[in-house]
Amino acid sequence: MNRRALLPALVIAFLNVSACASTATAPVIALPNGYYLEPTKSGGLSLDRGHGHSVVPGPVAAYTVVRQVVTGALGEPPPLNRHYTNDLPYKGGADTRYFVLDTRSGKLDTGLDEAAWKMRLTALELPSPVELHSPIFPE
């Protein structure tokens, strides 16, 4: 191959690599069995499973994974958790609603008050207490 034919091929190859490298994907938090937490366009978080199928549309304020179970609180995360580390446990209020997703079966309980949430966790034989934390995504 002569040098004149090589230059256009190199330019095309460079443009293809540049296009692939600049394609941005939103950060997600991988969860068991193909589920994931993903930022929504409105700035909240949703719990999804494959191709944007929203399981818990959110917003998800805090979550944790215990074995194959994802559980969390619905609502907006506290303002400090958006700017600082999420090492402090999430503290819900009297009106906080919770969800429990068994990722093995896909069974979802949502809109639970604290008492119902704790009963569901006990029924799944999860260790107590379960500590929730607000997720932090890389910028």
pLDDT on residue 72: 95
Q: Tell me: the pLDDT tens digits for 56-92?
A: 877 899 999 999 999 999 987 766 545 555 567 888 8
Residue 36 near residue 24 (C-beta atoms within 8 A): no
Q: Which amino acid is at 43?
A: G
Q: What pLDDT shows up at residue 116?
A: 96
User: In the prediction, which pLDDT does 44 show?
Assistant: 76
CA–CA separation, 18 and 16 (whole Å): 5
Give tens-digit pLDDT for 94-108.
899 999 999 999 999
Residue 119 has pLDDT above 50, yes or no: yes
- Please classify residue 52 by burial: count the beta carbons closer than 10 Å to its beta carbon, then call 0-12 exposed, 13-18 middle and 19+ buried: exposed
User: Which are the contacts of 137, defined by CB distance < 8 A and separation ≥ 6?
Assistant: 27, 29, 39
Residues 68, 70: Cα–Cα separation, whole Å = 7
State the SS3 of 30-59. Answer: ECHHHEEEEECCCCCEEEEECCCCEEECCC
Burial of 37 (0-12, 13-18, 19+ CB in 10 A): buried
**pLDDT value at position 107?**
95
